[in-house]
Copies of this chain bind each other. A is one copy, B any other.
Amino acid sequence: MTALTSNLTAPDIVRCGYLDLVVTDLAAARAFYVDVLGLVVTAENDHEIQLRTFEEFIHHNLVLRQGPVAAAAALAFRVRTPEDVDRAEAYYSDLGCPVRRDRNGFARGVGDAVRVTDPLGFPYEFFHAVDHVERLTWAYDRMPPGALVRLDHFNQVTPDVPRGCEYLQGLGFGITEDIQDSDGVVYAAWLNRKATVHDTALTGGAGPRLHHIAFATHEKHNILAICDKLGALRQSDRIERGPGRHGVSNAFYLYLRDPDGHRVEIYTQDYYTGDPDNPRVSWDVHDNQRRDWWGNPVVPSWYTEASPVLDLDGNPQPVVDRDEPSEMAVTVGADGFSYTRSEDRQHGFKLGEQL
């Protein structure tokens, strides 16, 4: 049993950096991420493709790696200094987690790095050294209508959200928003290092699994353009949920599923969270504007499906069920379990309590 926190100094995490993703059909994945979504290819060979967003200057934000099982191989965070890689190694060793270090990097373009299986069962990587590549911020001649300009965040499924929060807060993450009920059950939490709503989020459910990776666009119309393009390509069934406005984060969003079923969010316009006393926003799980500010329903697959994650040997991690009530069970398909206006609460909770 690993510990959740250590007395050692945690590595100073700057931000989420890239996702190492195993896909079962690299050509199909390339068609989706490059031809449809327009991510920029930094490097590629027969086995893997390194992709970045238009405003990125580090080597990549996404590695697509051909493999036997569709899964997330690593959620990689950039740390502030080379010494923070040492700190990461020490920190997770102290937690009793499996730790591997590769001074040549686990991915092309990335240098000295540590990969761990963290206390929640997720494969985290910490790196500082990375090749700089051309930042295409001004490359408007190359941007499609739905240009993805930044990696925004990861979202992880874990059975026990408060336990996950304790671990991530030990690592230096702050909590910006969460979803709770009146009994104190926490259904999800959003945690940040950079000054946005999150670098990663914890979604309560059977885990460890990767819920999604999210890329940012400049504006809302860019996200609509991705929908329109998917329609034109007769790939509208790649759209799982949205577009819509989140309650949590206030961002405009769209959820897609890639050819392997990996979920990709397109996301824009959350808010600044960089002050030390940034106010946490707690949403009631029965507030039906929490997940979609316009009250549009969340599809069941969004709650139930997610990608396996791998251990350091490349084997899928076993998944543990959530003990507490699931957000879907308490909200989806049950008319009285949610409310839009506060005066509806009595009604909503009454029915909800009949569970």
List residues of chain A with CB under 8 Å of any chain B CB: 14-15, 55, 57-58, 78, 80-81, 132, 135, 137-145, 147, 149-150, 194-195, 218-221, 224-225, 227-237, 239, 243, 245, 247, 250, 252, 269, 271-272, 274-279, 288-289, 293-296, 340-342
Residue among A80, A269, A272, A288 with the most chain B CB within 10 A? A272
* A-B interface, 10 closest residue pairs, ranked by CB to CB distance from nearest: A236-B295, A140-B228, A231-B293, A140-B232, A141-B232, A234-B341, A227-B294, A145-B145, A140-B229, A219-B219
Select from chain B the residue with minimum beta-carbon distance to A344. B234
B55 x A271 contact (CB < 8 A): yes
Residue among A139, A250, A342 with the most chain B CB within 10 A? A250
B228 x A293 contact (CB < 8 A): yes
Chain B residues near A276 (CB, 8 Å)?
A: 14, 80-81
Copies of this polypeptide in the complex: 4
Select from chain B the residue with minimum beta-carbon distance to A245. B228
A341 to B296, CA, bound (A): 26
Chain B residues near A14 (CB, 8 Å)?
A: 274-276
Chain B residues near A58 (CB, 8 Å)?
A: 275
Say yes or no: A141-B271 contact (C-beta < 8 A), given A221-B219, A279-B132. Answer: no
Chain B residues near A132 (CB, 8 Å)?
A: 277, 279
Select from chain B the residue with minimum beta-carbon distance to A132. B279
B140 x A225 contact (CB < 8 A): yes
- Pick from B195, B219, B231, B243: contact of A138, CB under 8 Å: B231
Closest chain-B Cβ to A223's Cβ sits at a distance in Å of 10
Chain B residues near A295 (CB, 8 Å)?
A: 231, 236-237, 239
Say yes or no: A236-B294 contact (C-beta < 8 A), given A81-B276, A135-B279, A137-B250. Answer: yes
